[in-house]
Amino acid sequence: MPDFTPVAVGIDVGGTKTHVRARAGGYGPEPGSGSGSAADPGAEPAAVSVAASPVASAAVAGTVADHVRESTGWRPHDPASAAAWLAALIDDVLPRGTRPAAVAVGGHACETPRQCEEIRSALHALLRVPCRVVGDAELLVPAAGLAEGVGLVAGTGSVAVGHLPDGAGIQVGGWGAVLGDEGGSAGLVREAARALWASHDRGEPPDVLADRLTAAFGVPEVPALGAALESATDVSAEWGRHAPSVFAAAEEGSSLARAVIAEGGRALARLVVLLAGRGVPVDDVVVAGGAVLGRPVLYEAFTAALAEALPSARPRPLRVPPVEGAVALARALL
C-alpha cells in the first residue's frame, strides 16, 4: 500500500472566489504575523492569483497545495450539497501522494451554528477525518495569529464576529444589502442614493455625487435611481460595484458622499461595540475586506469612531489571505 502524506486543509469559501490551501508538517505563520498595527491603514491582504492552477507559495514552508477557484456551485443552505462540493474540491486540488488529515472551512453565508454543524457533519461523513466549519469572517482572528478577538469584514457586505469567554460564537451585522451591510460597498451605494433623494426633497441642486451615481447606474437624474436599484437581480454585487463612484465623489468634494462614508465608518465601529456589549473580548479587531482596506477614507472613519467608542480596541488590518485562518483551525484539529 503506498504511503500518503497527511495534510491540514484550509478552505475559505467566499461569495465569488474560493481559496484552498493545504499544509504538511508543523509549519505556519508566526503569531501576530498576519495583521498590521492600527497605524497601518493601507495594509491589504496578500494578493493571490485567481487562476485554477496552483498559486506560487514557496514563502510558506510546508504548503503542498494553494489554489483559488470560482465559488460557483456553493450551496451553504443545502448541507449535503455543500459537503459534496467541498469534498470534490479537496480531491481535485490535493496533489498525488497526499491525503487530508483535518479540514477546516470558513464558508460564505454560513450564518448559524446549526447550519455550520450540519455541513461539518456531512463533510465528516464523506472524508472520515476531523472537520470544522465556521462562517468566513471567523477566519480572520486565527489568520492574524491571535487566539481571541473580533473579525470584521467590510467588502461587498459587512459583518463582525467574536467569541464569548466560554467559546460561544456571536455574529452581528451581515444582513444583506437591502436591509443592512452598512459600511460595505453595497450598503454605501444604498445610503448614497438615500442621501441624494433626501437632498432632492430639500430642493438642493445636484452635487458631484448625483453626477457620479446617475452616470454609474445609467440613468438621467436622481429620481430614476430608485428604479435602477430595484431592477438589480443580484443586489449586493450590482449595487456594490458602484461604490467607487461614491469614493470618487468624496474626493471631488461632495459633502454628501463624505457624510455617507463617515457614517459607514461609524456603522462598522458600532458592530464592534455591539460585540463588546455582549461580552466578547474586543481588544484586537482584525479587519479585512476590499471596501475598508482598499479605501483609507473609510478605514480612517472606522478607526476614529472605534477609538472614540472603545479606546482600548486595537484595529489590525489583515495582511495575509484569510485562508491562513482556515489552515490554522485545521491544524488545531490534529
For 132-150, the pLDDT digits (tens) are 999 999 999 999 999 999 9
Instruction: Say if residue 126's pLDDT is above 70.
Output: yes
Is residue 79 located within the same domain as residue 137? Answer: yes
Separation between Cα atoms, residue 155 and residue 183, nearest integer Å: 8
Q: What is the arithmetic mean of pLDDT over 187-215?
A: 97
Quick one: pLDDT band at residue 44, thresholds 50, 70, 90?
Answer: very low
Instruction: Say if residue 46's pLDDT is above 80.
Output: no
pLDDT at 25: 73
Instruction: Say if residue 87's pLDDT is above 70.
Output: yes
| Strand-by-strand arrangement of the 314-317 sheet | 169-173, 158-163, 150-154, 284-288, 314-317
pLDDT at 177: 86
Nearest Cα to Cα of residue 169 among 116, 107, 128:
116
pLDDT at 173: 93
Is residue 122 located within the same domain as residue 170? Answer: no
Is residue 325 located within the same domain as residue 313? Answer: no
Separation between Cα atoms, residue 186 and residue 102, nearest integer Å: 35
Q: What is the arithmetic mean of pLDDT over 63-69?
A: 95
Is residue 193 located within the same domain as residue 69? Answer: no
pTM for this model (two decimals): 0.84
Instruction: Say if residue 81's pLDDT is above 80.
Output: yes
pLDDT at 36: 56
Is residue 154 located within the same domain as residue 290? Answer: yes
Quick one: pLDDT band at residue 88, thresholds 50, 70, 90?
Answer: very high
Q: What is the count of structural domains for the chain?
A: 2
Is residue 127 located within the same domain as residue 18? Answer: yes
Per the listing, cell 489583515 goes with 318
Q: Residue 300 maps to which CATH number?
A: 3.30.420.40
Instruction: Give the structural domain span for 32.
Output: 5-144+320-332
Percent of the chain with pLDDT over 90: 79
**Please, are residues 157 and 282 in contact by the beta-carbon 8 Å criterion?**
no
Is residue 166 located within the same domain as residue 45? Answer: no
Q: Count of CB atoms within 10 A of residue 144's CB?
A: 30
Is residue 159 located within the same domain as residue 88? Answer: no
What Cα–Cα distance (Å) separates residue 69 from each residue in 54, 74, 284, 293?
10, 11, 31, 23
Q: What is the pLDDT of residues 283-298, one digit of tens each?
A: 999 999 989 999 999 9
Least confident of 17-26, 58-67, 101-110, 261-270: 58-67
Instruction: Say if residue 35's pLDDT is above 70.
Output: no
Beta-bridge mates of residue 132: 104
Is residue 39 located within the same domain as residue 139? Answer: yes
In this structure, the chain runs to a length of: 334
Separation between Cα atoms, residue 149 and residue 313, nearest integer Å: 9
